[in-house]
Amino acid sequence: MPIRNIKVIPNLPFDVLPIQDITDTLPSRLPDPETPRTPEQITHIAVHHSAVEGGTIQGYADYHVNSLKWAHIGYHCVVKGNQIYQTNDLLTFSYHTSSNNAYTVSVSVSGDLSKRSLTDDERNCLYATILTYMDLFKIPVENVWGHNEYPQNNTACPCIDMNQLRQEIKTIQMKMQQQVTWAAKMKNVSDIVNQINYLTGLMKAGEKDGNAVWAANAFSDVADMMRSKHLL
């Protein structure tokens, strides 16, 4: 089953635009000589930069397919400015990290990061992509590597401090968990308020009504619990 039109993982502590899947607009060479992977085969994330400023995703794909004779663009997703683009089915066996393509899913930042730092938009989009991959394939942050960290790849790419990146990803994960936990607590509050209103409505029927008596007894049980916690 292809993994296309992916959605950004929810509860990020920053906003990013929805991912645009442009795979079908890019050049490719069929039939693909490589067999698609299974989700279980994908255990690592490879982070890249394009190493050129002002390049286009169409241009990268054209070079990979028509000059290098690859079947597809090498990257699974590309970050360009404030937008994430999906450029391959995530299960596609594509060429981006020599000798390490079978078990990796890739993301590239469009730009030359040897000459400048990531912009805030690029960083947010890159981290959103990585966290989305991690969620889809259950990849631990320890398996998020830069191109230059893979064996048999003598390159400076992605020209990013990957130790810092991994630490920042961990921090974002903690913030996301806090948001999920707080949202769950707020739902509990809402549910309690709704139930109080419901029981209060039942009690209006008076002490001779069975439902009203049941509601009153429920309130008594709750009151005992609240007193035990010094809430009443």
Confidence at 221, pLDDT banded by 50, 70, 90:
confident
The CATH number of the structural domain formed by 20-160 is: 3.40.80.10
What is the pTM (predicted TM-score) of this model? 0.81
Average pLDDT score over the chain:
95
Print the SS3 string covering the chain.
CCCCCCCCCCCCCCCCCCCEECHHHCCCCCCCCCCCCCHHHCCEEEEEECCCCCCCHHHHHHHHHHHCCCCCCCCCEEEECCEEEECCCCCCCCCCCCCCCCCEEEEEECCCCCCCCCCHHHHHHHHHHHHHHHHHHCCCHHHEEEHHHCCCCCCCCCCCCHHHHHHHHHHHHHHHHHHHHHHHHHHHHHHHHHHHHHHHHHHCCCCCCHHHHHHHHHHHHHHHHHHHCCCC
Q: Is the pLDDT of residue 207 over 80?
A: yes
Examine the pLDDT at 120 and tell me if it is beyond 80: yes
The proportion of the chain whose per-residue pLDDT surpasses 90, expressed as a percent, equals 75
> Taking residues 166-188, what's their average pLDDT?
89
pLDDT of residue 219: 86
7-62 pLDDT, tens digit per residue, is 999 999 999 999 999 999 999 998 888 999 999 999 999 999 999 999 999 999 99
